[in-house]
Amino acid sequence: MPDEAGSRIAALGHYQPGDVLTNHDLAHLVDTSDEWIRQRTGIETRHIAREESVTDLATAAGGKALAAAGLDPADIGLVIVATSSAIDRCPSIAAQTAGRLGIPAAAAYDLNNACAGFTTALATADHSLRAGASRHALIIGAEKMSDLTDWTDRTTCVLLGDGAGAAVVSAHAGAGIGPVVWGSDPTRSDAVRLQDAWQPRFQQNGQTVFRWATTQLVPIAVEACHRAGLTPADLGGIVTHQANLRIIDSLARQLGAPQAVVARDVTTSGNTSAASIPLALSKLVEDRQIPQGAPVLLLGFGGGLSWAAQVVTCP
């Protein structure tokens, strides 16, 4: 990517609850089967937080990223938590997480852009660091989607899981986070919904989302590569929102990046909304499946319908 003042991902961390819900478990709740779920979504298992809150998940992932970065909590000047499942409105999950991690005086706020939340937050943090507002930021995607699940709806309850992923982002002489390509299509705003104020439940028109994702997102991903001074063939990794394995494989195939490692964490984690990209990326980096320094495409998309994509340098 171009050599200019910017920011980079310095470290990652992730956390998932210990309770695993299998497709066979779901077959006891609704009229479904392991074969039906796998064929349509690619999902085999998902993690469920029985007692833990969104703040618990965010704190666990954020603490791991902070430790991996080797920074003192006082070094963090900005905390953003991307989430659409927070029950608490005030104080924000970000402020609660900062307090638990001992971060004394950071700007802290939540960001809700559904499944594109983490990549949107990452771009916002990059802009903040470029402007000199802080030197280090902690960006977290955390979701407890099980709180928003209608466990009687077999079309949606098979999709969702809980978890969190986090990144420490630091000011950097080079451009370790490429320019963002982001936007929304409000004409399709009814395709994904969390609208009941008293008891919100996840609803979506799966066919609409599938058609949109597989036909409209590739040019956005290509533009993110071009803005980073690359082509898709240069990519070492592709981490899209982990919504559906069929969508992930279709996007990877259309992009034409033969050397890229493609994240398929959806198979064991389900759709964790804003947490899915940092969760999947952190696992790939932890397992060293993507070489350090390799360019990685991040592509978030979801309710809105919204998107945010950028190329980052693998930490």
Which residues are part of the catalytic machinery? 115, 241, 271
Report the alpha-carbon distance of residue 60 to residue 24 in Å, rounded. Answer: 29
Cβ-contact 43, 23 below 8 angstroms: yes
How many C-beta neighbours within 10 Å does residue 210 have? 18
* β-sheet bridge partners, residue 22: 45
Residue pair 142/117 in contact (Cβ under 8 Å)? The answer is no
Say if residues 270 and 159 touch (Cβ distance below 8 Å): yes
Residue owning tokens 């029950």: 87
Distance CA 116, CA 182 (A): 9
148's tokens: 């928003």
- Residue 311 identity (one-letter amino acid): V
Other CB atoms closer than 10 Å to residue 295's CB: what's the count?
A: 23
Burial 38-75 (b: 16+ CB within 10 A, else e): eebbbbbbbbbbeebbbbbbbbbbbbbbbebbebeeeb
